[in-house]
Amino acid sequence: MPLDFLTLMAVMATNLFMISAALPLIMGRGVSRAARHVQASLLLQAVAWAAIIASSSLWDQALSTLSIACNAAAQWMLYRALEEWLGPRPLPRLLLVLVIAAPLGYTLGFGHYAWRVGWANFLMAAILCIVARATLAPVVESSLRWRSLLLGCLLTSAAFTLARGMLGAFTDQYPSFRTPHPVNLAAAMATNVSLVLGTVALLVAWRAEAEQKLRTLAMTDGLTGLLNQRSFAQQGASLLAHAARHQLPVTALMLDVDHFKQINDTRGHEAGDRALQLFARLLGDTCRSGDLIGRLGGEEFGVLLLHNSAPAGMAFDRRLRRRLHAASVAELGFALDYSAGLATPAPGETDLAALMARADRALYEAKTAGRGRLVAAS
Ligand SMILES: Nc1nc2c(ncn2[C@@H]2O[C@H](COP(=O)(O)OP(=O)(O)OP(=O)(O)O)[C@@H](O)[C@H]2O)c(=O)[nH]1
């Protein structure tokens, strides 16, 4: 079956334009930054392929330079999407330099065919390798499946781009972009397939991002960003089981802001919300990593301090109280105070509900004893 190179390219450019038009419709408004980067990347690729096809009939230098600039920029946008999904990625500066240098060197050396083809393809291959590298070693948890698929697509494209560069720079078998050389035809086929598979990988990545957002939303309290009651109970039970297994000390605290209704009534609901946010932030600042904090009700918070026995829990309370008094006056314009109850599990105890109920009873004692204090369960 004869394969016409330009037809393959035209099909790919058409597909890319269709996908670029369809994606915003499928994804809808208000999508994440990563999704917007992906949309931009696909559109830039579509323009790049359309420009290279058009360059064979008019404005050769301008359109082929535009094509390389768009292709490089498309990879930059894809890299930015990967940064959003996977955390900081390696070699961002080098990538940016290559993205700028690829079209610049190409157009400056346009008069010399071997130079411009070698330059543009070698730099594009390097760009593709850096983006492929960016799919590895995520800083945040991410599925290996879509990343492997994207990695495969990018490495395949990089290999063919490199092969084109070698042919153009060091042989006379690649006299033009449309040459029906077997490597060129295979590259066009592979790019078409990579486009489809790469788009699938990116859609799966986008879905994974949406799922993660939903999971976070279901686990956290919208106002303070702390764990909500349900996830505090789930994660608290695991923490308690872990502590019991390894015989680690744990201290549980129940904390409740004092006279909170009065704050709402006299200063307004918004001031009350800001007070809760400040309290939550200071709780986070006073805890160490591995501790658990949750908003268990309106102005009631639960804390599980790992590696801490009762005296350390009391020291935690003193630190928090000091910080709260200073920060509430400075940031809210009035002093905020709270009552707290403290309880520690018996050796081997893993019943979180019973432990928190003891801390809650101690909290009630703190309230009835005049508020603004900590009471330890006996
Ligand atoms: N601003 C604001 N208020 C809330 C929120 N959730 C609950 N509340 C209010 O918190 C108040 C809690 O009042 P109470 O349970 O009487 O507690 P309190 O006034 O702090 O009294 P003590 O705990 O006995 O010191 C109620 O008025 C609730 O409407 C919230 O998310 N934001």
d(CA 71, CA 73): 5
Decide if 187 contacts 160 (C-beta within 8 A): yes
Element (H, E) at 339: strand 338-343
- Looking at 164, 191, 217, the residue that finishes a domain is 217
- Whether residues 65 and 12 fall in one domain: yes
352 and 233 in contact (C-beta within 8 Å)? yes
Q: Which of 162, 195, 217 is the last residue of a domain?
A: 217
Largest CA distance in the chain: 92
Ligand 1 atom nearest to 261, measured from its CA: 19
268 Cα to the center of ligand 1, angstroms = 12
Nearest CA to ligand 1 atom 4: 298
Q: For residue 188, is pLDDT > 90?
A: no
Instruction: Kindly report the protein residue whose alpha carbon is nearest to atom 7 of ligand 1.
Output: 298
Q: Is residue 208 part of a domain?
A: yes
103-156 confidence digits (pLDDT tens): 999 999 999 999 999 999 999 999 999 999 999 999 988 889 999 999 999 999
CA of residue 197 to ligand 1 center, whole Å: 53
Please state, in angstroms and as integers, the Cα–Cα distance from residue 164 to each residue in 61, 70, 75, 310, following that order.
Answer: 18, 18, 18, 69
On whether both 15 and 156 belong to a single domain, the answer is yes
Which of 217, 251, 285 represents a domain boundary (last residue)? Answer: 217
> Contact, 65 vs 108, CB < 8 A?
no
**pLDDT tens track for 270-301:** 999 999 999 999 999 999 888 999 999 999 99
* Cβ atoms 360, 269 nearer than 8 A: no
Put residue 67 in one of left, alpha, beta given phi > 0 → left and psi -120 to 50 → alpha: alpha
Mutation probe of ligand 1 site: the residue of 277, 299, 338 with most atoms within 8 A of C-beta: 299
Retrieve residue 35's tokens: 């999704």
Dihedral, CA of residue 87, residue 93, residue 99 and residue 104, to nearest 10 = 170
Ligand 1 binding pocket, CB closer than 6 Å: 223, 256-262, 264, 269, 272-273, 276, 298-299, 367, 371
Asked whether residue 57 falls in the same domain as residue 80, the answer is yes
Domain tally, the chain: 2
Enter the tokens of residue 372: 């603004």
User: Given the CA of residue 265, which atom of ligand 1 is nearest to it?
Assistant: 27
Atom of ligand 1 nearest to the CA of 257: 20
CATH number of the domain residue 290 falls in: 3.30.70.270
**pLDDT tens sequence across 26-77:** 888 888 899 999 999 999 999 999 999 899 888 999 999 999 999 999 999 9
Which residue minimizes the CA distance to atom 1 of ligand 1? 272
Both tokens of residue 19? Answer: 């996908």
Q: Is residue 223 part of a domain?
A: no
| Residue 13 pLDDT grade (very low, low, confident, very high; cuts 50, 70, 90) | confident
Return the pLDDT at 2.
Answer: 67
Tokens standing for residue 161? 């781009």
Query: Quick one: tokens of 337?
Result: 């105070």
User: What's the average model confidence in pLDDT over 215-244?
Assistant: 93
Contact (Cβ atoms closer than 8 angstroms) between residue 174 and residue 181 = yes
- Average pLDDT of the chain, as a whole number: 93
| Residues whose CB falls within 8 Å of the CB of residue 119, separated by 6 or more in sequence, listed in order | 102, 105, 106, 109
- The span from the CA of 102 to the CA of 260, in Å, is 62
Whether the predicted model's global pTM rises above the 0.90 cut: no
Looking at the domain assignment, is residue 224 inside a domain? Answer: no
pLDDT of residue 45: 93
Verify that 205 and 65 share a domain, yes or no.
Answer: yes
Q: What are phi and psi of 250, to 5 degrees?
A: -135, 145
Rounded to two decimals, the ipTM of the complex is 0.94
Q: Both 53 and 178 in a single domain?
A: yes
Read off the pLDDT of residues 162-182 as tens digits, 9 standing for 90 and up: 999 999 999 988 878 788 888
Both 237 and 127 in one domain: the answer is no
- Residue 4: pLDDT band with limits 50, 70, 90: confident
Q: Tokens standing for 327? A: 């920060």
Residue 126 one-letter amino acid: A
Does a structural domain hold residue 97? Answer: yes
Q: What's the pLDDT tens digit per position in 118-130?
A: 999 999 999 999 9
**pLDDT of amino acid 1:** 60
Cα–Cα distance, 376 to 378 (Å, whole number): 6
Do 175 and 253 belong together in one domain? no
Q: Is residue 76 part of a domain?
A: yes
**Tell me, what's the pLDDT at 290?**
85
CB 155 within 8 A of CB 203: no
Pair 213, 235 in one domain: no
What is the domain range of residue 79? 5-217
Express each pLDDT in 216-225 by its tens digit: 889 999 999 9
> Phi, psi at residue 237, to the nearest 5°?
-65, -40
> Does residue 207 sit in the same domain as residue 331?
no
Same domain (yes/no): 119, 208: yes
- 182 assigned to some structural domain: yes
Residue whose CA is at the smallest distance from ligand 1 atom 32: 273
In sequence order, the 6+-apart residues with CB closer than 8 A to the CB of 378 are none
DSSP labels for 275-314?
HHHHHHHHHHHHS-BTBEEEE-SSSEEEEEEET--HHHHH
